[in-house]
Structures are given as C-alpha cells and as structure tokens.
Amino acid sequence: MRLCFIPSPRLLHLLALSSIATLATLARADDNPEQATDVPSAPSTLPTLATLPTLAALPTLATSPAPGGDQFGFPRAIPFSRSASRDAPAFALAMAPRGVWTAAGEFGFAAYRDHGLTLRPGFYGLLELEGDEQTGFSVWPSQQIHFWRGAFSLQASLAFDDLAHRLCKRCALEFTLRLRHESEHYTGANGGGSAIDYSDRPIVGDAVVFDVATALWRGHWLIIIRALDDFFLPDRSSYSQGPGLDLHLRYAAWRGIHPFFSGYAEYLFGTALGERSYPDAYLVRGLLGIAVPGTLGDLMVFASGDVGHRKGLAAYTREATLGFGVRLAFGSLPGM
C-alpha cells in the first residue's frame, strides 16, 4: 500500500508567504549594504527580485515613517514638555498640594532642512484648571475647579544641527521665537450668586518670547539647559519682562525607566497698566521622579516642590508647597 501526501491550501498559503518574506529580506539586504552585514549574500538570480513592484508594494513589509516627520511633526529638536514650568506643553494632573489639570501641547507645521539648519514653524496651546481649596490631597477633585487660564502662541524654532554635532554626536542646539497670549479666568458657582471682583489681579497678556536651549550627553546622562525671556508688549500686560531658566537632568542607562529631575525658575517684573501698578512675581519649581519612555514621548510620575507665587487670578498668593502628580509629555529627546 502506498501513502501519498496532499498539502492543504492553508499550508501552501503559509509556505508562499514565508518564501516571499525571505526573498524580500534578501532583496532589501542587497539594496542597503549597511544593514546587511550579518546577512549571507543571495544567489545571483535573486537581485532581480528587488525590481519587482509586487514586493515593494506589499504593505506588511513597508517601514512606517518615524514620528515627527517633515509635516505635522514635533515642533522642536529639544522639547519643552519635560520642563518644570507650569506652562510646559504637556497633559498633566497634579493631585497635591491642590488639584491642577493641564491640557497643553505644541506641534510643528513642517520642517525645513538646509545648510546644517532645521526650521520648524509651529503652534502652542494651553488650558489649565485649578482648585482654590486648602492644600491637601484629592485623587479626582473635579468639583473644586475655580481658577482657569488659557494660552496660545505661534512659534518658530531654528535648530543648529551641524554646530551641535561638533559638540557631540547626540547634542542639540536650538533657538525659538514665540508670539504668546495668556488670559486668566474663574468659574462662578453653579447655583448663581454674586460675582467675585478680580479686577485688581495682574494680566499676563501678550508677549514676545525668546528661547535658547541646548542638549548635552555625558555618558548615560542627558542634560537640557534652557534660557528664556518674555518681553511683554506695552499696555498689553501687567508685567514688563519675565526671564526664566530651565534645567532637565535624566539618567538614561535603562531602556524602560529613566530617573529625572527638572528645575525651573522665573521672575516677572511688574509694571503699570491703566491706573494700577502691579508688583513683581516669581516662582521656583522642581520635579523629581521617573519617566517611562515611549515612541512619542514620556509618561512621567513625579514629586513636586514650589516656592513663590501661584498662577492666574491667584497670582497674589505666595506659598511654599510640596505635591505630586503625573504627566504625559510628547516630543522625542535628542540622541534617544
């Protein structure tokens, strides 16, 4: 008695797909010698397969573009989203010392590269909600929102790629110019009642912001230093100028978790607006925690410390507090 083997259609289909994938890998190895150092050379009859349009058109074999491409990508070579500033473009929830919800971000319209430079025009937007309760802890204090502020800006970042690479292979150097507006508001009681008079509170208003940042690598340590200055437009703000300094320090030896520290300090010089003169304000803030890196950015869990004035209509309150929160920060870090 003779036995015969009849392959099923499913088995033939799997064998065909396996053959196509193997041939495509060999064809791509011939096209890109730098990535083919560990791949054996293909027979002389195989390179002609690289010219077949059917293999190039297979969607399962195509490589997806990296985030932050030439259009609608990341707006900076050195993202501002890891800053300890309350204006950082990130999604965040602070559960102490009081509830603060932040929905902010920035994106680039396009990226233009030439002569060792990269120009990225972009847009920034921020909405922040804050409670006015006593300091404490609440996981989801959704009924305690009182203050809120909004901001937006048009911006352009210029990265000096060639100059930065002379410092180190993974370094970056960037200048950003922004035209920014911010307004402050509060939420009235749902049950009605008399409005609260906040007419004596400072107005942030309109400003031209200059921003210079550098990213340096020292072994596994990433150091980002940023100096910025807000020049407020005359008769459009309660302040005249607002210099600031920002530092982000990260240990990136491990793939899945990065300990970090972010520190930020700003000083706002008060000025006269209308019939009122407004005092100076300052804020020093630090974040200490861990970041879980991903393709599009970081998930950051942190403890915070603040010394100075609050934001928005609560700007006359000066305090020193400790707290903690979580942040989703978008943007790829240089050299990672």
**Residue 322: strand pairing partners:** 305
Banded pLDDT at 144 (limits 50, 70, 90): confident
Q: Give ∠ CA 280-284-289 in degrees, rounded to 5.
A: 160
Q: Cα separation of 281 and 310, whole Å?
A: 9
The CA R_g of the chain, rounded to the nearest whole Å, is 27
Residue 4 has pLDDT above 70, yes or no: no
Q: Strand 221-232 relative to strand 276-277: parallel, antiparallel, unpaired?
A: unpaired
Mean pLDDT for the stretch of residues 221-248: 98
pLDDT band for position 57 (cuts 50, 70, 90):
very low
What was the pLDDT predicted at 20? 44
What per-residue confidence (pLDDT) applies to 29?
40
Residue type, 267: Y
pLDDT of residue 98: 86
pLDDT of residue 73: 87
Q: In the numeric block, which tokens belong to residue 189?
A: 């009681």
- Mean pLDDT value of segment 326-331: 96
Q: What is the 3-state secondary structure (H, E, C) of 188-229?
A: CCCCCCCCCCCCCCCCCEEEEEEEEEEEEEECCEEEEEEEEE
N-terminal to C-terminal alpha carbon distance within the chain: 65
Residue 21 has pLDDT above 90, yes or no: no
- Nearest Cα neighbor of 242 from 265, 268, 264 is 268
- Give the predicted TM-score (pTM) of the model: 0.77
Structure tokens at 293: 């890196």
Residue 278, both tokens = 């407004």
The residue that leads in pLDDT, 108 or 3, is 108
The residue among 32, 152, 137 whose CA lies nearest residue 93 is 137
Q: What is the overall mean pLDDT for the chain? A: 83
Query: Which of 89-103, 152-166, 261-275 is predicted with the least confidence, judged by mean pLDDT?
Result: 89-103
Which of 32-46, 143-157, 287-301 has the largest mean confidence?
Answer: 287-301
∠ CA 270-307-323 to the nearest 5 degrees?
135
Beta partners for residue 247, in sequence order: 225, 263
- Tokens 């990130």 map to which residue? 90
pLDDT for residue 332: 92
Type of residue numbered 202: P
Considering only residues 113 and 193, tell me which one the structure prediction assigns the higher pLDDT. 113
Provide mean pLDDT across the span 245-257. Answer: 97
**DSSP character for 48?**
G
Task: Rounding to the nearest 10 degrees, give the CA dihedral for residues 82, 88, 90, 96.
Answer: 90
Using H for helix, E for strand and C for coil, what is the string for 163-185?
A: HHHHHCCCCEEEEEEEEEEEEEE
Rounded Cα distance between 32 and 49, Å, is 15
pLDDT in tens, 85-106: 999 999 999 988 888 999 999 9
| pLDDT given for residue 272 in this prediction | 96
pLDDT for 311 beyond 70:
yes
Choice among 35-49, 127-141, 176-190, 234-248 with the minimum mean pLDDT: 35-49
Residue 70: its pLDDT value, please?
67
Res 178 pLDDT > 70: yes
Cα–Cα separations (whole angstroms), residue 116 to 67, 170, 194, 255: 21, 15, 59, 30
Spatial neighbors of 231 by CB under 8 A, at least 6 apart, are 207, 208, 209, 210, 241
CA distance 21 to 289: 44
Q: How, if at all, do strands 145-160 and 318-330 pair?
A: unpaired
Q: What percent of the chain has pLDDT over 90?
A: 67
The mean pLDDT of 29-45, rounded to a whole number, is 41
- Rounded mean pLDDT, 123-132: 93
Task: Provide the H-helix boundaries in the chain.
Answer: 9-31, 53-56, 161-167
What is the dihedral angle through the alpha carbons of 319, 320, 326, 332, rounded to the nearest 10 degrees?
A: 100
Q: Would you state the pLDDT for residue 134?
A: 73
Query: What gap in Å lies between CA 92 and CA 297, rounded to an integer?
Result: 13
Whether pLDDT at 297 is above 50: yes
248 pLDDT band, cuts 50/70/90, is: very high
Asked whether the predicted pLDDT for residue 266 surpasses 50, the reply is yes
Exposure string over 200-220, b if 16+ CB within 10 A, otherwise e: ebbbbbbbebebebbbbbeee
Confidence of residue 18 (pLDDT cuts 50, 70, 90): low
Can you give the pLDDT at residue 141?
59
Structure confidence at residue 213 (pLDDT): 98
